[in-house]
Structure 1
């Protein structure tokens, strides 16, 4: 009789669910997914939750294979030498292979007053809390969004479309990732909604008070509600468990997503740092990364050598309320190109991009092993080689 193989996935986000579904290809593999919440969070819709146009949650039965055991709990420690995990409820569980898919959360702000008076929105609970706060504040009250990246842009637009008085503080420039063409489209869309966009060095938040945000240039922006969208960080579970991580707390792996600390531990999604050169934190990376880590585990079980990462990211899409958006195309190395779709067409493409992950996870749950990704070559080999050349003794002597 074939011995049963226990695979535990920590984290039920996009990457963890995709990995768990894909692992069910083998009948001799038992897959357990451990997640602190009983529902799947559509993180890319949290700005819509804040604005009230979506609740940003989906029942796990819609996206997770019935062959995956779902455990609602939090992992507090990984004992890699013993191949066990400890749960918040005090129990322990063993594993043969462990997939680390804990995602990311809001980075602790270093700006004085931000922790006390600003509201982050990177988790379901944070977004729900902010929505509740906004419901108790008059529509005319000034709202300040700190951070000019996608999360800040989308949140500012969502609230402005509802008639809120919104100021967006970019800190440096609006949409740093975007091509200048895409940036102009975003700026135009925000202007139509009445968002006051402040960019450049003097727009950097230096302190947050209950009723204002002080900028680097000395100006104080009135703010009844300050929303913090700057920075993400990985949970500290891996580092607390003695596994090697990068400076941001992401688990260090090789190019097959195998931990450099233990060959029975693997990482995927926002919490992984393959070769110390992680891909952009995004849903677009999470799904193929989840597929890839499952393939690596299945290869290990079969006694085969796993393949290296090959996927790339093709675009970034930004919603500007419910009727406008920008779909920014990218080169295979994840740098923005001039091509973009904006306006109502951009909004429709953004909505398709938000709905697509649910469809992809549903399909993988029904037919494990079927998921594939559009961009097969993200140019990682070339970038890794360039990184190696830069750090070589010869390069060091030349410098």
Structure 2
């Protein structure tokens, strides 16, 4: 048996982190540890479904004119979690804990439990978080973000406590806001979506597809920004006040402050600054992947679409360092945006590899089918990589050299 004498730690058990941990086991002399704050894998792309399944089946059925049992059967429920045993190679040691600090010179992690872990190489894949801005009065106190499991569970509990007819305001017109508003409306809720633009990353035709479906579901679309949030209302930038029993905040994401707190170079949002091989600009023993990585200060769009290939490529960079070979430049194709609009419809925005949208989309039930298959295949790809490390393959993305040369990004 080969001695496992090289210690690699992956911080973060999301899409990128799990992919990286599995991929590293293409070598049998690595001792791979995954540190994650939860004992289960979270399907973040299903959190809006988890939050929406808040016990409103009767109200939903009455509004849609179907039987309670029949409607519940059609929609189903979502736990948005999977056991790590289903997606993680058994050769990876799972440590359920939080990392408080990275001591890069000593190659050591300080954990919340008081323990410490030493490493030879580190994969930084802490992901992203729901960000409620300090600059909006009342938002931190009264709004419910929707980017992490605990946030979705808290929102689900709140929705279960209010009547189905109580007004729900979703703030933010990005993909998370769109999906949440559609889910809540399809579940029989009275929903208002507030955003200057709905679907800013979509093409004109894609945006129209989304807004048509939202209006069909009864979602009120309000083009505005938010001035403040109260316990039972939202004040807009034009001084209008909207009643809101539950205010859901989806306008923007943040990242954990671990890298910045540890003295590592980050971009303005706090993502670890790396070169194009995903290697930290401070330390060639630290490699980043996923939402918390900023290659050349030009991060990819936060998504599992980028997370999986970035996780695989971060592992390949570590493997190259160990082998003493040159690490390859990361390449990520961003071929589309898949949006669920309730369980019965969706919009799939087709794109160029550089993440710019085409005037092409798939809508309706076809869009819903494609979106659901993407969700399922994400787990399938992770599970396949767990069974056979090195099996995952991604298409080649665009050459970013000209973009990098023409852009200067400030570093913390």
**TM-score, with normalisation over the residues of structure 1?**
0.95
Q: Which runs of 4+ in 1 moved over 6 A?
A: none
| Cross-structure match for 2:194 | 169
**1:302-354 deviations in Å (ceiling 9; x for gaps):** 00010101222100011100001000011111011011000000000010111
Partners of 2:6 and 2:212 in 1: CA distance: 55
1:94-105 alignment, distance < 5 Å: 94-105=118-129
Where does 1:324-363 land on structure 2 (aligned, <5 Å)?
324-363=345-384
SS in 1 for 2:242: strand
Aligned-partner Cα distance in 1 for 2:161–2:397: 49
Cα distance in 1, alignment partners of residues 141 and 36 from structure 2: 28
TM-superposed CA distance for 1:121, in Å, is 1.0
Aligned equivalents of 1:195, 1:84: Cα separation in 2: 50
Residue 173 of structure 1: SS of its match in structure 2?
Answer: coil
The alignment partner of 1:22 has SS state of helix
In the alignment, which residue of structure 2 is the partner of 1:191? 215
Q: Is the 8 A contact 1:185 1:326 kept in 2?
A: yes
**How many Å separate the matches in 2 of 1:283 and 1:131?**
23
- Structure 2 equivalent of residue 387 of structure 1: 407
Match of 1:132 in 2: 157
For structure 1, list consecutive stretches of 5 or more residues without a partner in the other structure: 392-399
Tell me the equivalent position of 2:240: 219
Does the CA contact (< 8 Å) of 1:312 and 1:379 recur in 2? no
Q: Distance in 1 between matches of 2:323 and 2:3?
A: 13
The corresponding residue for 2:397 is: 377
Query: Which of residues 227, 250, 265 in structure 2 aligns to 1:244?
Result: 265
Q: What residue is the counterpart of 1:397 in the other structure?
A: none
Q: Secondary structure at the match of 1:9?
A: strand
Are 1:156 and 2:181 matched, yes or no? yes
Q: Could you state the TM-score of these two structures normalised by the residue count of structure 2? A: 0.92
CA separation in 2, counterparts of 1:163 and 1:366?
41
By how many angstroms is 1:2 displaced? 5.7
Corresponding residue for residue 142 of structure 1: 167
CA contact (8 A) 1:334 1:378 kept: no
Which residue, out of 236, 258, 273, partners 2:279? 258
How much has 1:3 moved relative to structure 2? 6.4
1:19-66 Cα offsets, whole Å, 9 max, x none, are 000000111111000001000000010000011130100000000001
Distance 2:143 2:29 in 1: 49
Q: How far off is 1:106 after superposition? A: 1.4
Q: Kindly tell me the number of residue pairs found equivalent between the two proteins.
A: 385
**C-alpha separation in 2, matches of 1:3 and 1:362:** 23
CA displacement, residues 347-381 of structure 1 (integer Å, 9 cap, x when unaligned): 0001011111101101111111111113x122322
Q: Partner residue of 1:303?
A: 324
Q: How big is each residue's C-alpha offset from its partner over 1:262-290, in whole Å with a ceiling of 9 and x where there is no partner?
A: 11111110111111111100110000000
- Partner residue of 1:396? none
Structure 1 residue aligned with 2:49 = 48
What are the Cα deviations for residues 78-107 of structure 1, in whole angstroms up to 9, with x where unaligned?
110001111111111110000100001012
- Decide whether the 8 Å contact of 2:4 with 2:28 is kept in 1: no
2:334 touches 2:397 (CA, 8 Å); kept in 1?
A: no
Distance in 2, Cα, partners of 1:381 & 1:310: 11
* Contact 2:87–2:379, Cα closer than 8 Å, also in 1: yes
CA deviations 1:124-171 (Å, max 9, x no partner) are 00100000000010011110000000110100000100110000001x
Measure the CA separation in 2 of the matches of 1:386 and 1:100.
27
Say what the alpha-carbon RMSD is for the aligned residues: 1.3
Helix, strand or coil: the match of 1:387?
coil
Is residue 132–residue 145 contact of structure 2 (8 Å, CA) maintained in 1? no
| Corresponding position of 1:66 | 90
Are 2:93 and 1:92 aligned? no
Counterparts of 2:286 and 2:399, CA distance in 1: 25
Match of residue 395 from structure 1: none
* SS at structure 2 position matched to 1:310: coil
Distance 2:3 2:351 in 1: 46
Distance in 2, matches of 1:3 and 1:161, equals 52
- 1:21 maps to what in 2? 22
